[in-house]
């Protein structure tokens, strides 16, 4: 009923404990609060909130156009609707080190369990596109140090994402990842790895949890959870998958409306009203008003 019963502090602690145990954490990307609740219902370990998805939801490309206010607001809406820990994409931290510090505290206040800050220059671009540029070592490390210094809850997970693999190669990615860990990063997000061996090389080098981004149509093959676990990965995200599935289904439905004038033939593909009301926990709202859920829905 209403929002999650688990506090942000409890979610952060639970995520830390799972990572410390060596378990692999599966985090599909939520494109709205309702999808976060579905991720929880289906038994996943956490929720990921993608900057690309937030941008797309606003009809914008993923090139750093969103603001901290927009990202934190959406993050809060999603995080408060699930008992699971939620990690959010903070892009380059929304500015210089002082801005990065403010970003961390704002995301803490929004109830997130963690975030990642990357080493691209502004304007940034999707990590699986060509033509990326990264900042120098000093700037990258200052961003992470600022994030760590600003953190008030020691369990808030600060990940460092590096996009340098696509620019300077794997050795450079490993060197930067190690430096980012020395700067205080709790985990490493090596973007656009080209194979399992590269994930394994990074995981072996850094000694902290490594995140694998299994985004479709990108630079990385779509490995299974078991393959990634064997390579030493501890966090797996599918950042845009649910949005892609939902938009694909929406496009097909609109085509059917154009062609047939109705959607009768697609009812079996829809979430039933009864399932939606169950996911929303409609019945529990009778605690306030017995007239809220005084009906039955025929399947």
Catalytically active residues, by annotation: 48, 62, 89, 91, 116, 118, 126, 161, 191, 213
Cα dihedral 77, 78, 83, 88 sign: negative
Cis amide bond preceding 255, omega within 30: no
Residue carrying structure tokens 């990921």: 48
Separation CA 51–CA 88 (nearest Å): 8
Q: Which residues make Cβ contacts (< 8 Å) with residue 179, sequence separation at least 6?
A: 137, 140, 141
Selection from 38, 39, 18 nearest residue 28 by Cα: 39
Separation CA 94–CA 37 (nearest Å): 28
Separation CA 60–CA 64 (nearest Å): 9
Q: Which residues make Cβ contacts (< 8 Å) with residue 13, sequence separation at least 6?
A: 155
Selection from 281, 280, 255, 258 nearest residue 269 by Cα: 255
Separation CA 162–CA 127 (nearest Å): 9
Q: DSSP string of 248-286? A: HHHHHHHHHHHHHS--GGGGGGSPPHHHHHHHTTGGGGG
């Amino acid at each position: 009923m209403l929002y999650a019963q688990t506090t942000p502090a409890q979610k952060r602690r639970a995520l830390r404990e799972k990572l410390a145990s060596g378990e692999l954490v599966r985090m599909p990307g939520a494109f709205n609060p309702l999808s976060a609740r579905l991720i929880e219902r289906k038994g996943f370990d956490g929720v990921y909130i993608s900057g690309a998805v937030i941008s797309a939801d606003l009809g914008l490309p993923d090139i750093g156009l969103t603001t901290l206010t927009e990202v934190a607001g959406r993050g809060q809406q999603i995080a408060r609707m699930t008992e699971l820990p939620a990690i959010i994409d903070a892009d380059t931290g929304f500015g210089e080190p002082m801005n990065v510090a403010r970003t961390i505290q704002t995301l803490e206040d929004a109830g997130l369990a963690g975030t990642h800050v990357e080493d691209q220059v502004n304007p940034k671009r999707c990590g699986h596109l060509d033509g990326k540029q990264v900042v120098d070592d000093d700037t990258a490390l200052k961003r992470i140090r600022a994030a760590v210094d600003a953190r008030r809850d020691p369990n808030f997970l600060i990940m460092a994402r590096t996009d340098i693999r696509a620019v300077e190669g794997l050795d450079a990615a490993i060197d930067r990842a190690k430096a980012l860990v020395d700067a205080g990063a709790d985990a490493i997000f090596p973007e656009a790895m080209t194979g399992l061996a590269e994930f394994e090389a990074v995981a072996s080098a850094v000694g902290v949890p490594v995140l694998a981004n299994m985004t479709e149509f990108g630079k990385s093959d779509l490995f299974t959870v078991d393959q990634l676990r064997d390579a030493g990965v501890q966090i797996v995200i599918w950042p845009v998958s649910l949005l892609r599935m939902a938009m694909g289904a929406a496009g097909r439905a609109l085509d059917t409306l154009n062609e047939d004038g109705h959607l009768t033939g697609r009812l079996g593909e829809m979430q039933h009203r009864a399932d939606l009301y169950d996911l929303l926990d409609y019945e529990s709202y009778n605690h306030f008003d017995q007239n809220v859920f005084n009906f039955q829905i025929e399947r």
